[in-house]
Amino acid sequence: TLNRDIKTAKLDISLVKDAPRGIPPAQWEHIFKGEPVDLDRILSSFHRISIDSSRRGRIGKAEIEIGEAEAKRKVETSSEWSSAWRVAAKATSFVFNHCEQELFDYGDYIERLFAAKLPSAHSQVILFDKGVRSDVGGGTSVLLTDFHQFQSLHAATLQYDGIEYPRPRRTPDTGNSNRFGEGSSRATNSVKTETCHRFNLPIGCQFTDVACRYLHICESCGHQGHGAHQCKPIGNPTS
């Protein structure tokens, strides 16, 4: 029924005494329709000092709405995501109170992912979250807490070999070293794109992570901190 009269619902929510404040009208509309909330716009609504209105245009005599202007702030850190999510979850559960526990559990899940990743990878967690919420939509067939449904998205965005995981830009190597870590020990300013083979051998690389011209990561799992000869994939029995 909410989806049948969005304008009335938006007006009603603005008049309800206990309704969460500061939610942009367009985001209330997303909630009513069961669409994912734009956390960038939620974040932009914090400490807002200007009127957030939609853009309009005309085709002949008809006036049409062409959407909101671009969000003034972007969610880029774990703390920004958490702040925006708490507001979005509060607004969503106010309309759909049966979703409160689901929203809480999902927020906890994403925050655990942030905690498990280096800060440099937090943008990938944010990308993963966007993909999950876009997939779930109104949650009629899949819930935010159906984590097993998002395994392929998790692999694509959060694993080193995923298709949505950023790759360093390849630059020519003008040094005299090779992929076995042999040659100059000077740290290079070029972006490292290839894995150090010697690091993955029992003998190890003679250079430090910083000094070597190649990446000190495992050739088996793509993670840092160990080479292929020490790799123990999750799920395999330890010796």
How confident is the prediction for the chain on average, in pLDDT? Answer: 80
DSSP 19: S
Amino acid at 136: V
pLDDT at 143 > cutoff 90:
yes
Model confidence over 70-109: pLDDT tens digits?
778 999 999 999 999 999 999 999 999 999 999 999 999 9
Question: Helix, strand, or coil here: 65?
Answer: strand
pLDDT the model gives residue 68: 59
Amino acid at 132: V
For 207, the token pair is 């250079």
List, in sequence order, every residue forming a beta bridge with 58; answer none if it has no partner.
63
Model confidence over 48-66: pLDDT tens digits?
655 555 555 556 665 555 5
* Range in 142-151, 174-183, 185-194 with the lowest mean pLDDT: 174-183
Q: Which is nearest to 113 in space by CA: 164, 44, 162, 159?
A: 159
Long-range (24+ apart) CB contacts under 8 A made by 85-89 are 85/39, 85/110, 87/20, 87/22, 87/23, 87/42, 87/45, 88/27, 88/37, 88/39, 88/42
* Range in 1-10, 26-35, 59-68, 97-106 with the lowest mean pLDDT: 59-68
pLDDT: which is higher, 209 or 87: 87
Question: Helix, strand, or coil here: 47?
Answer: coil
Amino acid at 186: R
pLDDT at 186 > cutoff 50:
no
Residue 199: other Cβ atoms inside 10 A: 26
